[in-house]
């Protein structure tokens, strides 16, 4: 198989795939008697990456896989193609996700110790269903609590090639700052938490209209005093 044909096949496969493709997965497309080497596939991926530089679509590496995606700089324009409202996530969910990302593997009890409040089952279910976290094992202590870590969906959603792309904790002083560093498409809900209620809410129409009108409207900050501030959470995470 010549290089032009190999490049076309890999390009097409990456366009139609619904998830990042690893080199091993790409190799599985070819019969054994016509299978390229791993190095040949890497070379084609490098060429495709060069071909798409400066265009509206780029080839990105996500963990061990590759995918085509739109240039992040174009998100303001592309976002207008979808009329649906973006889900809004609570501060508690974002804090929990940040702690898992930076302290993994970690148990639910350890997360609660850092946050100073309990972690609702709804938060864990939401993160698992979004495939942002996964259970990676059990802590070898009485009760064998589950250990959680980030999943590939976390890297994909936040446009990270690896966990090494996360901003350094030494440079951040509060969870809100971490959220802003990661918040490529999340719409944070900073309203007071309501116990075990849903961690995903639809944005009220009047909120959405106000935001579109550009008046700087935002949901109120937590005011019930039951949840520690973002800076307190980050201080506990760094101080351990």
Q: What's the mean per-residue pLDDT of the chain?
A: 77
Q: CA 6 → CA 26, 27, 48, 55, 173, distances in Å? A: 11, 11, 11, 22, 48
Q: Please give the pLDDT value at position 89.
A: 83
Q: CA 233 → CA 98, 172, 236, distances in Å? A: 10, 12, 5
Q: Where in the chain is the domain with CATH 1.10.10.10?
A: 3-80, 88-239
Burial 5-25 (b: 16+ CB within 10 A, else e): ebbebbbeebeeeeebbebee
What residues contact 34, with CB distance under 8 A and at least 6 apart? 1
Mean of pLDDT values over 146-153: 93
Q: Please give the pLDDT value at position 59.
A: 94
Q: Is 207 left (phi over 0), alpha (psi -120 to 50) or beta?
A: alpha
Multiple choice CATH, 88-239, 1.20.58.2030, 1.10.10.10, 3.90.420.10, 3.40.50.300: 1.10.10.10
**75 vs 8: which has the higher pLDDT:** 8
Question: pTM score > 0.75 for this model?
Answer: no
Using one digit for the tens of pLDDT, what is the confidence trace for 30-89?
A: 999 999 999 999 999 999 999 999 999 999 988 889 999 998 888 888 878 876 666 778
Q: How many CB atoms lie within 10 A of CB 159?
A: 15
Q: Please give the pLDDT value at position 52.
A: 95
Query: What is 3-80's CATH topology?
Result: Arc Repressor Mutant, subunit A (1.10.10)
Q: Please give the pLDDT value at position 12.
A: 96
81 secondary structure, DSSP code: G
For the chain, report the end-to-end CA distance as a whole number of angstroms: 56
Residue 89 is encoded by which pair of tokens?
């996530």
Residue 53 is encoded by which pair of tokens?
């530089």
Using one digit for the tens of pLDDT, what is the confidence trace for 207-236?
A: 344 334 444 333 333 433 344 444 444 444
Using one digit for the tens of pLDDT, what is the confidence trace for 157-181?
A: 888 888 888 887 655 555 556 556 5
Mean of pLDDT values over 184-208: 45
Using one digit for the tens of pLDDT, what is the confidence trace for 11-29?
A: 999 999 988 999 999 999 9
């Amino acid at each position: 198989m010549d290089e032009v044909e190999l490049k076309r096949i890999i390009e097409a496969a990456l366009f139609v795939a619904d998830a990042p493709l690893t080199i091993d997965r790409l190799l599985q497309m070819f019969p054994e008697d016509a299978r390229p080497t791993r190095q040949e596939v890497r070379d084609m991926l490098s060429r495709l990456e060069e071909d798409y530089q400066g265009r509206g679509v780029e080839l990105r590496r996500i963990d061990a896989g590759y995918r085509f995606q739109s240039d992040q700089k174009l998100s303001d324009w592309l976002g207008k193609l979808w009329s649906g409202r973006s889900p809004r996530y609570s501060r508690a969910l974002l804090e929990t996700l940040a702690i898992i990302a930076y302290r993994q593997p970690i148990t639910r009890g350890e997360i609660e110790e850092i946050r100073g409040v309990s972690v609702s089952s709804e938060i864990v279910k939401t993160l698992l269903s979004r495939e942002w976290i996964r259970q990676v094992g059990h802590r070898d202590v009485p009760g064998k609590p589950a250990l959680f870590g980030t999943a590939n969906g976390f890297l994909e959603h936040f446009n990270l090639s690896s966990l090494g792309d996360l901003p350094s904790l030494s440079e951040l002083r509060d969870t809100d700052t971490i959220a802003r560093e990661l918040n490529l498409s999340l719409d944070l809900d900073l309203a007071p938490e309501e116990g075990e209620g849903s961690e995903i809410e639809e944005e009220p129409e009047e909120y959405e209209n106000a935001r579109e009108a550009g008046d700087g409207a935002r949901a109120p900050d937590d005011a019930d005093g039951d949840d520690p501030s973002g800076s307190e959470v980050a201080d506990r995470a760094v101080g351990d």
